[in-house]
Structures are given as structure tokens and as C-alpha cells.
Amino acid sequence: MSRGQPKSKTALHVMPGVVGGHDGLPGKNAPAPAQTLDTARRKTLDVQDYVDGVLSGDRTRLARAITLIESNSTGHFAVAQDVLRAILPRTGGSIRVGITGVPGAGKSTFIEALGSYLTGQGKRVAVMAVDPSSTVTGGSILGDKTRMERLATDKMAFIRPSPSGGALGGVTRKTRETLLLFEAAGFDVALVETVGVGQSETAVRSMVDFFLLVLVSGAGDELQGIKKGVVELADAILINKADGANVIPAQAARLEYERALHYLQPATKGWQTIAMTASALTGDGIAEVWGKIQDFVKLTRGSGAFQRRRQTQERDWLRALIESHLVEKFYANNEIQRLLPAMDAAVMSGEMPAAAAAQKLLEAFHVTENSHSPREWHGTGSSGVGP
């Protein structure tokens, strides 16, 4: 401020922000940035660059490959699929562990303790930490890396925070492809942390080998405090924070769950779901958790259940991608965009049943996509809605 200038006229000068993408990918409709030392160093990668970088374990190129996978750009999608096709023969070697749990159960702390234990055993560990996206802005804090400071600086570990993007269960739409990149990069264990717990969290079950549910004692009625559907999908239940004065309550909660598990069908054929206790703070029980995961892998690989689960997951993934594509295509259809507001209004005002409106929209979609009469298309089911 110049001498004599009134305080009321002091201006706040803000430096302009940086326009661009993320991890070297250009932003949508972004102008070409000025050539600086950083942009000169970050060259555009082709398919072979990505493949070579992932297979050699280059962390920078692995991060850029994940960003490529997560991009919603059509051009990036084509390149990403070429990269995935090239690395596919080198995938399948990791143990995939899904970790979910109630808020405050200490999932991130537990993952850091387990990850550090594994790297201490000479294993390479990759972590996919999914953060919830805001329903208002679409943004995410992506704070898991800061909550795992010790693991984040471990050269044997790789942590990738990723926004849920509103995806079911807080598992991003591209988490599966990222797991393939982790495996091709040579990581022995891939840990997938999800947002919270509930029926939606069952999405993680469809992409991991071992599913761990993390809980804490003393949060009310343990058996009523969590939905049965998630418990039925767990291969193990872990009562975390079993340290200090909480050791006895944690053991009591473990026994309570152990009794309840006898009445539930195991999530994996041939494996009895177990309840354990551990303390991510002191490290007690962490080695035992990993021991049980190893027992599970040995048993299921011997019985063939491990491979069958992987194959079933691939088939289900294919079906899910088809459904996702058809939904996107439906809403992008010009005729549907024209008719939908009127159908919405008719349903909301009670003038038309939802099933009848859906039937009308699907018939219109069928006509525009196939140039056939709507009479040639017949719905299925009691509502008359179907392909």
C-alpha cells in the first residue's frame, strides 16, 4: 500500500490460477498452457510409454496411467483400453483385500498398520483409498494419504486417493481397472478402502478376493448397529481399537459376533467367516489378521474357489459395463431428452403411472435406435418394462 493511501481502498491482489488437467492430462476445453520447465518435462505419453512405465514399476507413470483410466474423456478411454489390453497378461498376481467399516472404526489407521507390517515382510503394497465426493460440488478432500503418513513415505507402498464420484458403495467406476494396473506393476497386495458401511458397500465384494469388515466395540448394540447384508458378505470381522481399557469390551464384541456368524451362511464356500480383534495403534493382532488372509488364500486356491470368484467377478463386470453403457446411451438419446420432461411431469402430478411412462420412453428409444415400429418390441415382467 502506498504512503498516504486510505486503508479502505487497499486492494487484495490474487494471482491467477493454473489452467490445466491432472497428472499431465489436458483439462476439458482448456487452452494450451505456456511452455514452462514443468510442462516441458511432462511429455505426452503414448500407449507404449504407459505400458512400459507400469510394467517397470515407475510410480510417476503408474499414477498417470491411473489418471488416464479415471478420465471420462472419450479419447482417453480409447487409449486406456489399449493400455489395459497390453498389461492384461501380467495381471492376476496380487491378493486383493477389500476393507470397509463403520465411520470412526479406524479403517485408515488399520490399513497403515497392516500395510507397514506387509512392507516389513518384504511385500509391495498398493492402497486404493476412496473418498466420498460432495453431492453439491462433486469435489473430494482425498485426505487418506495424509492420514497414512508412515505408509505414504514407504518406498514399498503406493497410495492412490480416489474420489467416489457418487459411485455405488464409494467404489469408483474405474477401481477395477486400477487394480489391474497395480497387479501389472508388481504389487503383491492391493488394499481397497471404501467410504463407509451399508448395503451400497457390497460393491467392493465384487472386485476383491477377501472382504474385511472393520468395527469397534462400545458403539451401542453391536449386532443391530450394522446391516446384516454386509456381515453376510464378510470373510472376516475385525473389532479394531482393542487396546487399553477397550480390550475387554472388544473381546466381548468379538464373541458376540462369533456366535451370530454361526447362524449365517459363509460368504465364501468352504471358509467359515471369523471374528477377530486387533489394535492398529499398538499393532497387536495385525500379524494374525494377515495370517488369516493367507489361510483363506491357500484354502480357496486349493479348492478352486479363488479362481472361480475371479472369473465370476469378470463376468459380472462385463454385465455391469453393458448396463452402464445402455443407461448412458438411453439418456443421451435426443428423443428421450425431448420426451423425458413431459413424462417426469406426468408421473409427478399423478396423471400417469411410472411403469406406463417408462414403457412409453423405452418404446420411443427402441424406435429411434432401430427404426422399427414400437409394436415389434415387447416388454417383460409385470410392469411391462424391459429390453
Query: With b meaning 16 or more CB within 10 Å and e meaning fewer, what string describes 208-229?
Result: bbbbbbbbbbeeeebeeebeee
What pLDDT is recorded for position 219? 58
Q: Residue 2 half-sphere exposure, CB side, CA atoms within 13 Å?
A: 3
Q: In terms of DSSP bridges, do strands 189-193 and 274-277 run parallel, antiparallel, or are they unpaired?
A: unpaired
Q: Mean pLDDT, to the nearest integer, of 247-265?
A: 91
Q: Mean pLDDT, to the nearest integer, of 61-81?
A: 91
More confident residue, 80 or 73: 80
CA nearest to 297, candidates 310, 284, 285: 310
End-to-end CA distance of the chain: 69
What pLDDT is recorded for position 15? 41
What pLDDT is recorded for position 4? 47
Q: Mean pLDDT, to the nearest integer, of 120-133?
A: 84
Q: Mean pLDDT, to the nearest integer, of 33-53?
A: 72
Domains of the chain: 42-87 (1.20.5), 91-303 (3.40.50.300), 315-376 (1.10.287)
Kindly report the number of other CB atoms within 10 A of residue 104's CB atom. Answer: 11
Q: What is the DSSP string of 287-318?
A: HHHHHHHHHHHHHHHHHTHHHHHHHHHHHHHH
Burial class, 234, CB count within 10 angstroms (exposed 0-12 / middle 13-18 / buried 19+): buried
Q: Is the pLDDT of residue 304 over 60?
A: yes
What pLDDT is recorded for position 171? 54
More confident residue, 24 or 289: 289
* Highest averaged pLDDT of the listed ranges 27-41, 111-125, 128-142: 111-125
What pLDDT is recorded for position 226? 56
Least confident of 54-68, 77-91, 202-216: 202-216
Q: Is the pLDDT of residue 341 over 80?
A: yes
Q: Is the pLDDT of residue 132 over 60?
A: no
What pLDDT is recorded for position 195? 66
What pLDDT is recorded for position 173? 64
Q: Is the pLDDT of residue 223 over 60?
A: no
Least confident of 14-18, 91-95, 98-102, 112-116: 14-18
What pLDDT is recorded for position 157? 96
Q: How far apart are CA 258 and CA 44, in angstroms?
A: 54
Q: How far apart are CA 97 and CA 105, in angstroms?
A: 17
Share of the chain above pLDDT 70, in %: 73
Q: Is the pLDDT of residue 133 over 60?
A: no
Range list of β-strands (E), the chain: 95-101, 125-131, 157-163, 189-193, 210-216, 236-240, 274-277
Least confident of 27-36, 62-71, 117-126, 221-230: 27-36
What pLDDT is recorded for position 343? 97
Q: What is the DSSP string of 14-63?
A: -PPPPP--STTPPPTTPPPPP--HHHHHSPPP-HHHHHHHHHTT-HHHHH
Task: Express each pLDDT in 145-188 by its tens digit.
Answer: 556 888 999 999 999 987 655 444 335 568 889 999 999 999 99
What pLDDT is recorded for position 235? 96
What pLDDT is recorded for position 233? 87
What pLDDT is recorded for position 109? 92
Q: Is the pLDDT of residue 230 over 90?
A: no
